[in-house]
Chain A
Amino acid sequence: MSLSAGEMRQKVLEIIAPWKGRRGGLIPILQALQGLMGYVAEPAVKIVSEELKIPMSEIYGVATFYAQFHLTPRGRHIIRVCRGTACHVRGSLKILEAVKEQTGCPENGTTEDLRFSLEPVACLGACGLAPVMLVDSQTFGRLTPEGVSGILAQFV
């Protein structure tokens, strides 16, 4: 979502408002920022830092500690290939390689045309369907390397 600077400031202030004078808000705020823009953008973080009097370094420390937060823009579609144990023993590495080959997307990276971001994840909890991947919010199970391209073609 592209927002003008004024709009963004307005939205960020709305996100911060319930947390003024309360503790424990940093992670929910970062989650909301990411929900708003798709990633944790520096200009938005500056507003949070000034308004809540939290040093930028501390916010950076928290944002980089957790796997959930991204500091750069991400693709339109997020591919999460499960690399959990159950998927691993049923061949998820080959699925991951097929996805990398099909999309040209590096692990934990984004394609240049911003079509896909690729994130291997520790477990999607759908072990009965191993190997599994999630594209946006759709789960695909019992994958084969050959079946990957047909699935990815649905996401433009």
Chain B
Amino acid sequence: MPIYRAHVLVCNGTGCSSNHAGAVTAKLKTELERQHLSNEVLVVPTGCHGMCEMGPVVVVYPEGTFYCQVKEDDVPKLVEEHLLKGRPVDALMYKGKETTAVPNYKDIPFYGKQNRIALQNCGYINPENIEEYIARDGYVGLAKALGEMSPQQVIDEVKKSGLRGRGGGGFPTGTKWSFCAASPGPKKYVICNADEGDPGAFMDRSILEGDPHAVLEGMAIGAYAMGADEGYIYCRAEYPLAIVRLHQAINKAEEYGLLGQNILNSGFNFTLHIKEGAGAFVCGEETALMASIEGQRGMPRPRPPFPAVSGLWAKPSNINNVETWANVPQILSKGGDWYASLGTEKSKGTKVFALTGKVKHTGLVEVPMGIKLREIIFDIGGGILNDREFKAVQIGGPSGGCLTKDQLDTPITYESLPPLGAIMGSGGLVVMDEDNCMVDIARFFLEFTQRESCGKCTPCREGTKQMLLLLEKICSGKGEMKDIDLLEELGNMVKNMSLCGLGQTAPNPVLTTLRYFRHEYEAHIKEHRCPAGACQALLSYTIVQTACKKCGLCAKNCPVQCIPGGRTEGYTIDAEKCIKCGTCFTKCPFNAISKG
């Protein structure tokens, strides 16, 4: 194996790839060739580094120098200065608040508070090279389980770790495994739910793309513990790169004797298949997911019987999501006690969040359970974009709730969120500022869940539809006060009576915004006004004559020519003709147009 004096890691995750990381990687290779460094420096394409906002990300080892927003044209300088002459390039480094360059990524606040377990290899290894995974203690957990432990001991170790379902349910993983293990029968299945459908969530995709073997190893360990010999990974077709990486990983693992027949000479057999999802949010629900694997419409069914008793093809089955499986190998190799030492009393370990919306540093963060929202948004995320005012954070995707600044100091655990009306969910955190209207956000989420409702049970099918109509009525300024009561009543009905998790959680965004932002609903209804200035139907634009410099830019850009006037007499907006597109508002260089 050739030895290299330096490794250049280039993030090739979806975020950085969209920012032309592929071209940067190619240019690095040609430049190294040109400088005769190809034998000394190795370029490694890696999975997601997490800091998607600053992509493409390039890290040079052994120093760990972190370069961000690297463009193809920056590459010759980077190669010549850093890799040839040994002088790191300050201009390409991350700049903190003091605008001084931060050379090492560990000193960047975004990474400072993180503790990466599920993401430990994402951004550090080439996900297409199984040997790099093995070099980072990969498959040690599986070897330990098969070589030294009985299936019951494996389950006990997972129970000891306190790991709970990271897909959002939060059910204790070890207990779930013990149910499936206790079910009789020679044929059982383990399934990986990789149908990450929450808008604004991409942690599972990053794990699949950046460290696919962690998921395979976790599943093999689970299969051994529960007595299954076959498994399925149900992955969204919208994640083509993840599917390619999974296929490669399975083939390699089989070649190395880590999957397939007689794994590590232990007599244990485990075969894995990949199923591509076909685009239905409800398939994230486990009974719907199994129906979809069977080739049917993905509709949930009532439980019991639980999948642990009668699941896929009516055989005992166990489903965990990507992040849950990815934690398992390390629990086995480092021990359940080690994992349980992280987090809080009842919520152990770490959780990956996708931090997005109006925050300075969007990206993936993995933090210990019990961390406060404030720490994630302001310390790690760097605060609100353009230094606007924080208004709310939506936690848990369309099934979660909107929390306000009063809850910023709540520790995030499985127990702390439900009393506030939210749930942990799969880990989406969407930050909103004063320009976001909470009624519009509630309408937005309900539009999504209503569209994705499979239609099987009436409360969800009809209830979400009626709730959406009410919200649209309020957003258009035609709402009545009794609509608020009706929304609450319908919301509670849908929540209590729906068949599956989709319906049971769909009203959460509406109910939490009603709880914390009722005044915004009332402003829409009573004053026909959208306080955030987001609901188009309720907007009106006027020119503040004292600030107007009569430049005429607004009139020139107005698409419906509704701003009559001239350079001498000034301009006014004809409210009758105005289509409220906001062009004048964005074009005015003097902030002389008011919106409200």
Contacts and interface: CB of A to CB of B under 8 A. Distances in A.
Interface in A83-137: 83-86, 88-90, 121-130, 132, 137
B430 A85 contact: yes
Q: Main secondary structure on chain B at its contact with chain A?
A: mixed
A123 B445 CA distance: 12
A65 B197 contact: no
A62 B296 contact: yes
Interface residues of B, number: 53
Interface string B424-451: 0000101010001000010011001000
A31 B277 CA distance: 10
Contact of B358 (A90, A121, A141): A90
A126 B278 contact: no
Contacts of A124: 238
B397 A68 contact: no
A128 B15 contact: yes
B42 interface: no
A27 interface: yes
Interface in A136-154: 137, 139-141
Q: A28, A88, A90, A132 — which one has the most chain B CB atoms within 10 A of its CB?
A: A88
26 contacts: A23-B313, A27-B295, A65-B280, A66-B278, A66-B279, A68-B278, A83-B199, A85-B199, A85-B357, A85-B394, A89-B358, A89-B430, A90-B358, A122-B452, A125-B14, A125-B196, A125-B202, A125-B239, A126-B18, A127-B200, A127-B356, A128-B55, A128-B356, A128-B362, A129-B15, A141-B19
A136 B482 CA distance: 46
B156 interface: no
Contacts of B197: 122-123
Contacts of B452: 122
B276 interface: yes
A128 B237 contact: no
A30 interface: yes
B5 to A, nearest CB: 32
A86 B278 CA distance: 23
Nearest to A101: B559
A27 B357 contact: no
A31 B237 contact: yes
Contact of A127 (B52, B55, B454): B52
A132 B18 contact: yes
A69 interface: yes
Interface string B30-69: 0000000000000000000000110100000000000000
B18 A123 contact: no
B522 interface: no
Q: B17, B53, B199, B239 — which one has the most chain A CB atoms within 10 A of its CB?
A: B199
Interface string A42-64: 00000000000000000001100
A41 interface: no
Given A85-B356, A129-B18, A139-B18, A122 B202 contact: no
Given A85-B430, A90-B357, A139-B18, A23 B295 contact: yes
B292 interface: yes
A62 B52 contact: no
Contacts of B124: none
B363 interface: yes
Contacts of A12: none
A89 B357 contact: yes
Contact of A139 (B14, B196, B358, B444): B14
B55 to A, nearest CB: 7
Contacts of A66: 278-280, 298
Nearest to B536: A93
A8 interface: no
B246 to A, nearest CB: 15
Nearest to A29: B295
Contacts of B198: 123
A90 B276 CA distance: 30
B200 A84 contact: yes
A68 B279 contact: yes
B14 A68 contact: no
B293 interface: yes
A25 B325 CA distance: 26
B294 interface: yes
A24 interface: yes
B349 to A, nearest CB: 24
Q: A26, A66, A132, A139 — which one has the most chain B CB atoms within 10 A of its CB?
A: A66
Given A84-B200, A129-B15, 20 more contacts: A25-B295, A27-B295, A28-B275, A62-B295, A65-B454, A66-B279, A85-B398, A86-B200, A88-B199, A88-B441, A122-B281, A122-B448, A123-B199, A123-B201, A124-B238, A125-B201, A126-B18, A126-B202, A139-B14, A141-B19
Nearest to B354: A127
Contacts of B428: 85
Contacts of A67: 278-280
Interface in A1-44: 23-28, 30-31
Contacts of A128: 15, 52-53, 55, 356, 362-363
A86 B356 contact: yes
Contacts of A85: 199-200, 356-357, 394, 397-398, 428, 430, 444-445
Interface string B200-244: 111001000000000000000000000000000000011110000
A139 B199 CA distance: 17
Nearest to A130: B356
B397 A69 contact: no
Nearest to B53: A128
B518 interface: no
Contacts of B549: none
A116 B454 CA distance: 28
Q: Give 3 nearest A-B pairs by CB, closest first.
A: A128-B52, A84-B199, A67-B279
B280 A89 contact: no
A86 B55 CA distance: 17
A139 B19 CA distance: 8
Nearest to A134: B18
